[in-house]
Amino acid sequence: MYNTLKFTIQQQIFNKYIMAIHIGKYAFNSKEQAQDKIEALGVETDEEGNKYPTHKHTVVELGLEVIAEPVMEEGEVIDDGLIGSSYLVDVLWHDLEADEDGEIDHPYGWKSYSADIEGEGIHGFMGLSYQDLKL
């Protein structure tokens, strides 16, 4: 029988310190603001006009926050639900540089939009734990 707790702790150490990955969840004021921050990480445009990242982070735009899900009954919309104004983005950060004290923090301009949530949230990265890898 395997000690799964030991494996989990070893995996967390491997992910956080060896692979140097962290997860951040962010709530921006608008889609445009989020996209400006993403582009500031490094984006170029190919000859066909398509943008592509030049950074090594994984960015997922989740869109506007859903505060209340719509309610359907027998194919009819009973309640439209409620959409918030925050534009949500999840980032799997790779190899962030430590500050002078050896601490890892959000890239410049991202920390003020960081959303510290309970649990794992509505999106995850390949089964990695947000709670174990959050900034």
Q: Which two tokens stand for residue 130?
A: 């947000």
Specify the pLDDT at position 40. Answer: 96
Q: Which two tokens stand for residue 46?
A: 């190919």
SS3 label, residue 121: coil
Q: Which two tokens stand for residue 48?
A: 């066909």
Nearest residue to 28 via CA among 134, 111, 94: 111
SS3 label, residue 79: strand
Please tell me the distance from the alpha carbon of residue 98 to that of residue 13, in angstroms, as a whole number: 17
Which regions of the chain does DSSP assign to beta strands (E)? 21-28, 43-45, 51-53, 58-68, 71-73, 76-79, 82-94
Specify the pLDDT at position 26. Answer: 97
Specify the pLDDT at position 2. Answer: 47
Specify the pLDDT at position 122. Answer: 87
Backbone angles phi, psi at 35, to 5 degrees: -65, -35
Per residue of the chain (135 residues), what is the pLDDT tens digit?
444 455 565 555 555 555 688 999 999 999 999 999 999 999 999 999 999 999 999 999 999 998 888 899 998 988 888 989 999 999 999 989 888 888 888 999 999 999 989 999 889 998 888 998 898
Please tell me the distance from the alpha carbon of residue 90 to that of residue 133, in angstroms, as a whole number: 12
